[in-house]
Structure 1
């Protein structure tokens, strides 16, 4: 059984600032690119939203999923148990991005996911393409609103 390969990247112009994500989904001979920009967000939110959006785009829950990201924040939260602890304590202490982490936790339960960290802005052509998609989305027109962030985090 072949696995689904997902490459993701997030970007923001300022932190907070305009941001975006880029995704490449690959399975057998199929490849799909996805990107979206937001008017005000953070880099970490875009990194995590890229993974969530990629998982939401999958139609096959029975196949193993390999996620490649240059975000140590995302990889370590998942592989080192930070997320399990945050959920157990209901994000006590003001952990950021609780809306996205809760969403990730719900959707990830449907899949067999293996997380992989890749060095950003290096020799991985898929990561580099995701970076192009993310930065282009952040620089785009008609940017979406990261409603939860603007309502809950930006004013803090």
Structure 2
């Protein structure tokens, strides 16, 4: 069992349907906080959301108990509802019999999840004015993602 459960706040940002994008991660673990960010010149928001989760889990030492907080329904629903199991069993084809979008990142994320003792997925409301228990972490991840996106232009 991990001594210190880790919290990972993740967010992605992009310009329009496709264009410059960035991700932001705030890791809280063992009494410390680490911020990570990066971006791509030609990407989508969904790619950046999943990339943020990959980076968060890969940055932690193996064997952790991690809770990932994200405002991305795409990411959280896939992991909590285990859509990835159906996709993998079907040869990475979705219910419409089309190739699963972002398969490379989903496979990367699943590998990162397998490194840890447990990973829980929590949906947070993004960009809310109300204070909540996870607002600060989500807001900071968003700021990191937007700054990384802007650095790609």
Normalised to the residue count of structure 1, the TM-score between the two structures is 0.86
1:119 aligned residue:
125
Deviations 1:40-99 (A, max 9, x none): 10000000000001111112x223101000001000001112111111112122210001
Measure how far apart 1:14 and its partner are.
1.2
Q: Distance in 2 between matches of 1:2 and 1:129?
A: 22
Runs of 4+ aligned residues of structure 1 deviating over 3 Å after TM superposition are none
TM-score normalised by length of structure 2: 0.88
Q: Which residue of 1 aligns with 2:49?
A: 47
1:100-128 Cα shifts (integer Å, max 9, x gaps): 00111112111110000000001401101
- Structure 1 residues not aligned, in runs of 5+: 144-156
1:3-43 alpha-carbon deviations (Å, 9 max, x no partner): 11100000001121100000001113210000102101000
Aligned pairs for 1:66-85 within 5 A: 66-85=67-86
- Determine helix, strand or coil for the equivalent of 2:12: strand
Structure 2 residues without counterparts, runs of 5 or longer = none
| Partner Cα separation in structure 2 for residue 77 and residue 63 of structure 1 | 21
